[in-house]
Chains A and B, each alone.
Chain A
């Protein structure tokens, strides 16, 4: 008899912090104590609290162990598994505190999970993604069964329309309408496609869904195929996601074996099969026409629309393309109804959204919140605030296509339309938190460097325009720019937005425009005062030694480029031409005699 289930996170984050060695240690230790038939060890998808990985949960108690390593395993087995005494020192601190007070705390009581609502991530961290039976135990493939046996394609489309689901890849196009348009195209063969080419720096929700619950995407694609009249599906996923690719392939194989993919599914005469296409990691391939060009085996470049993919898609065949997270919501909408889904979120943005929380935040990880949750709740409650007592400055959403939300707008409820209104966008869901030490011009420069690298070069506004924008930004951060440059930069932004061929170029100026909108004073400080207020831009910084110097020589001995000179007990000086502004001298000085200007 199985009396304990031990769930270990097998997401990319926890895998890289060593969850596989924990799994091995656990299996060895259980065997040693002859418990292998009483305790089941399960490798799951992402729990979300990546900052505290590797994560392990022991059921039925639901004890949440965090940041464990293999050396803790013998103690956990002998104490917890054999004697039933939870090893408090390895518990997640918030849970441990509650246990200490005698309150039995489950995961859902913690601040990180309390305000979350898991729909797309509902099976992540619960099931073993490599075993189809576990997915079935949690209502897996029930929605597909319901759709094929009880609903017409038109009813399925109506249900998705009524739910208010919008594309989770960032654009926010109504999914029901997309399916409707695709179903109206008259063709013998149609395709459905899943966009898993998640390329925004800092975003990893699609990867986590495919790693933790791949069958949900397969099931949803089959439902979509039935609704629009397609018989074949493609998943375009980047090769940099080896765990996701592997688990998705295992899931496809298992679904085929069970006859959930293939011919005559559930004896209804419906045929559907799918295959994986690997992308080489080009950001532009997340744009749907470039994605389709890449699937065809060509260089990933966008093509003009119209014709829209719903008329002429992959290999010229009508294609309906949705994002991973959009698909992951579909089975739940079918099973629980459009009204259930519509009950979550705001008027025009229904349901939940997964965000990858990163940057200057305590709980780095994956969170799923109802639309309309404020940024403050995400950062202060779920995210656990900014570390080291620093002040929140801005949050960046939507990656290189998005913009930033300044501290003054922290109470904005997050949904598609609110974010657009304040000059940012939902994007695929990367949420990067910045504190007072971040220079906003530098952030804009970072994203522009990314866009310049990733521009495919097909259209001139994007290829040359983004390069010129970056040059302006470099001029500003090195203190060589004039106010005329700032005006020219802004004009160029609007020109690129209006004239680029695809979404990559049309949105590339957003990081500049939104930082200009909220932090123009920082740009002006760089240009007029030749000063970087956050102290990030190295060219605008200088270190100087004040007369508090005791002549201890510590700074001179630690300077990596020998820029500091002086003799014992005499004040030292820094040679500004040699100084590389690394800041080592400041951190070494015991008398606070070195200042940054």
Chain B
């Protein structure tokens, strides 16, 4: 190691890889992906991976992405819930990889719900 810059480069490269191990605090946004049999069959896994990739690419340290069982509305799978630090829960339905980027940029980064993808929009 001949310079501090080298150390910094390793640190940055690694930090994204260990972010998962942070404990939740008051500023954490939770992304919950329904991963029961129905969700997985409808394609929840690529959605989950797309979230993880977006979060890592954008260095979002305050987001944890986790999976849950059947949310109960199998016809709308894959279902994703985004829970912001104030406790508000938004349910996005019929998700796919393409929709993920928009949810991350608009909702998680800029705190603006993507109305078109929510369960409310589909049930109308």
Contact = CB atoms under 8 A, between A and B. Distances in A.
B1 A265 contact: yes
Given A3-B48, A137-B17, A266 B64 contact: no
B69 interface: yes
Contacts of A137: 10-11, 14-15, 17-18
B35 A82 contact: yes
A264 B67 contact: no
A106 B52 contact: no
Contacts of B34: 84
B4 to A, nearest CB: 5
Interface in A253-285: 258-260, 264-267
A2 B19 CA distance: 11
A59 B21 contact: yes
Interface in A53-95: 59-62, 82-85
Interface in A119-169: 126-127, 133-134, 136-142, 145, 149
Contacts of B21: 5, 7, 59, 126
Given A84-B68, A260-B1, A266-B2, A1 B49 contact: yes
Interface string B64-84: 111111000000000000000
Contacts of B13: 133
A267 B69 CA distance: 53
Interface in B15-53: 15, 17-18, 20-21, 23-24, 32-36, 40, 48-49, 52-53
Nearest to B68: A84
Given A59-B21, A137-B18, A3 B49 contact: yes
B2 A264 contact: yes
Contacts of B1: 141, 258-260, 265-266
A267 B20 CA distance: 33
Chain A interface main SS type: loop
Q: Which of B7, B13, B15, B65 has the most CB of A within 10 A?
A: B7
A149 B8 CA distance: 14
Q: Which of A60, A107, A133, A139 has the most CB of B within 10 A?
A: A60
Given A59-B20, A137-B18, A85 B3 contact: no
A589 to B, nearest CB: 53
Contacts of B33: 84
Nearest to A135: B14
Given A62-B24, A108-B23, A83 B53 contact: no
Contact of A266 (B4, B23, B40, B56): B4
B15 A104 contact: no
A4 interface: yes
Q: Which of A59, A107, A127, A259 has the most CB of B within 10 A?
A: A59
A137 B14 CA distance: 5
A126 B22 CA distance: 9
Contacts of A126: 21
Contact of A61 (B15, B52, B66): B66
Contact of A83 (B7, B36, B48): B36
Nearest to A259: B1
Contacts of A108: 23
Nearest to A257: B1
A142 B7 contact: yes
B103 to A, nearest CB: 17
Nearest to A83: B69
Contacts of B32: 84
Interface in B88-122: none
Given A142-B7, A266-B3, A266-B4, A60 B64 contact: yes
Interface string A1-25: 1111101000000000000000000
15 contacts: A4-B20, A59-B21, A61-B66, A82-B40, A108-B23, A126-B21, A133-B10, A133-B13, A136-B10, A137-B10, A137-B18, A258-B1, A260-B1, A267-B2, A267-B3
Given A266-B7, A267-B3, 4 more contacts: A3-B65, A136-B7, A145-B4, A149-B4
Interface of A: 1-5, 7, 38, 59-62, 82-85, 104, 106-108, 126-127, 133-134, 136-142, 145, 149, 258-260, 264-267
Interface of B: 1-4, 7, 10-11, 13-15, 17-18, 20-21, 23-24, 32-36, 40, 48-49, 52-53, 56, 64-69
